[in-house]
């Protein structure tokens, strides 16, 4: 009597599955576009942190900047150049290395995402 399925009820399950599959595909597609941008940021931040930890090996801000640029080049990261990186010697004897840049991810002809990054590392001071 009331326990049988009707044609409309079985279709609602299929539409729900299609909706969730489409949503999952959208999330995966968006992640594939955005994740490389964050991976590059994390790599840059890691280089800054590593070089600041080795700050006692550098005798000047210029030497620190050169070491950072060499490591970025070694890791095949060409996002930043010498003009983008700031190195300061802190009063307490350490260094502060920072940069600021934007990355635009084009999603379609009229839609894009703009990410603003500020990697920074400091030791001492």
Determine the pLDDT at residue 14: 85
How many domains are there within the chain?
1
- On the question of pLDDT at 113 being above 80, the answer is yes
CA distances from residue 19 to 6, 7, 12, 15, 125 in whole angstroms, order as listed: 21, 19, 11, 6, 54
* Residue 119: half-sphere exposure toward Cβ, Cα within 13 Å: 26
In a domain, 53, yes or no: yes
- On the question of pLDDT at 124 being above 90, the answer is no
Task: Using only the alpha carbons of the chain, give its radius of gyration.
Answer: 24
In a domain, 10, yes or no: no
- Which H/E stretch holds residue 47? helix 7-53
In a domain, 19, yes or no: no
- On the question of pLDDT at 11 being above 60, the answer is no
Mean pLDDT of 69-93: 92
In a domain, 99, yes or no: yes
First to last CA, the chain: 80
- On the question of pLDDT at 25 being above 60, the answer is yes
- On the question of pLDDT at 85 being above 70, the answer is yes
Query: What percent of the chain has a predicted confidence (pLDDT) above 70?
Result: 89
In a domain, 12, yes or no: no
Mean pLDDT of 17-35: 95
Which of helix, strand or coil describes residue 83?
helix
How far, in Å, CA of 125 to CA of 113, rounded? Answer: 36
In a domain, 103, yes or no: yes
* Residue 95: half-sphere exposure toward Cβ, Cα within 13 Å: 25
Which range of residues forms the domain containing residue 60? 36-122
Q: What pTM value is reported for the model?
A: 0.80
Mean pLDDT of the chain: 89
- On the question of pLDDT at 4 being above 60, the answer is no
């Amino acid at each position: 009597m009331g326990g049988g399925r009707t044609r409309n009820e079985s279709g609602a399950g299929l539409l729900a599955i299609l909706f969730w599959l489409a949503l999952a595909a959208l999330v995966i597609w968006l992640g594939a576009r955005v994740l490389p941008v964050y991976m590059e940021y994390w790599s840059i931040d890691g280089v800054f942190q590593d070089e600041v930890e080795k700050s006692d090996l550098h005798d000047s801000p210029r030497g620190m900047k050169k070491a950072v640029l060499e490591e970025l080049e070694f890791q095949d990261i060409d996002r930043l150049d010498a003009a983008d990186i700031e190195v300061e010697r802190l009063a307490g004897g350490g260094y502060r290395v920072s940069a600021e840049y934007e990355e635009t991810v084009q999603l379609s002809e009229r839609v894009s995402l703009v990410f603003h990054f500020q990697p920074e590392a400091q030791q001492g001071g």
